[in-house]
Amino acid sequence: SSPRPRRRLSVEQRREQLIAVALDFFAHHAPEEVSIDDIAAAAGASRPLVYHYFPGKQALYEEATRRAGRELAGLFDEPQVGPLSERLHRVMGRYLDFVDAHGPGFAAIMRNGSASSSPGTGAVIDQVRQAALDAVLSHLALPDPSPRVRLAVRSWIGNAEITALAWLQDEKGRFSREELQLALVQEFVAQLLVVLVHEPGLAPAMSGWLAEEQPDGPAGLLLHRLVALLGD
């Protein structure tokens, strides 16, 4: 049980290393289960050295949360090429991989149940939601998205959060990542259909999106079966 040798790192490298180690801890444990000592030990650093870079665990937690939030927001970047539902399917695949890899950390921040929740972590959540909204709206490529379209996208993002959280907490044995990924995209299409029912003016855009869909893609499968079901 000899301590790990200290590596010689520049100030910036050391700071980044501590954040990376903290990210890893906070991804796999609730914040209240993590101590500065854990992080120092895993980084091969002394406790005073960690405190030299960060005033305390809360500051490290908030920085790690900001980094994770930036990464999560970045997962919504997707080239605007190909059928809409397949783009969102790729985004949701990355989203669920992220949730899977950062399980307890994602749960802690989203559950609002952590002693380390703060205005800082709340702002990160708001920023991720905003980035997700902007990204999805950019794929819809509407010149002026109506309030109803915007709200449908926001509520679908909330749906994805809660679904991912439920999957992590209780349902993981009962659902594969692939089943969930497909269901989330199809729920998005269903949300758009509800908007369309209230805003017939969305019909040309909707026809445009659907024209690019493949029959066996996420939207194609849903619509094909819905037509069959509702036709009965």
Using CB under 8 A as the binding rule, whether residue 176 contacts its own copies is answered as no
d(CA 70, CA 130): 12
The two tokens of residue 86 are 């397949």
- The nearest distance, CB 172 to its own copies, in angstroms, is 10
Quote the tokens at residue 207: 């026809």
Considering only residues 115 through 144, tell me which ones interact with its own copies, judged by CB under 8 A.
115, 117-119, 121-123, 125-126
Q: Which of 76, 54, 74 is nearest to 64 (CA)?
A: 54
Q: Which tokens go with 191?
A: 């949300």
Which window, 76-84, 91-99, 136-144, 155-163, contacts its own copies (CB under 8 A)? Answer: 155-163
Question: Tokens in use for 77?
Answer: 């970047």
Determine the residue type at 221: L
Interacting span for its own copies (CB under 8 A) from 20-28, 35-43, 74-82, 169-177: 169-177
Residue 71 gets the label, from left (phi > 0), alpha (psi -120 to 50) or beta, of: alpha
Measure the CA–CA gap between 42 and 152, rounded to whole angstroms.
Answer: 43
If one asks whether residue 96 binds its own copies (CB under 8 A), the answer comes out as no
Residues 201-220 that bind its own copies (CB under 8 A): 203
- Applying CB under 8 A, the residues found at the interface with its own copies are 109-115, 117-119, 121-123, 125-126, 147-148, 150-152, 154-163, 165-167, 171, 174-175, 179, 183, 186-187, 190-191, 193-194, 196-198, 203, 221-223, 225-227, 229-231
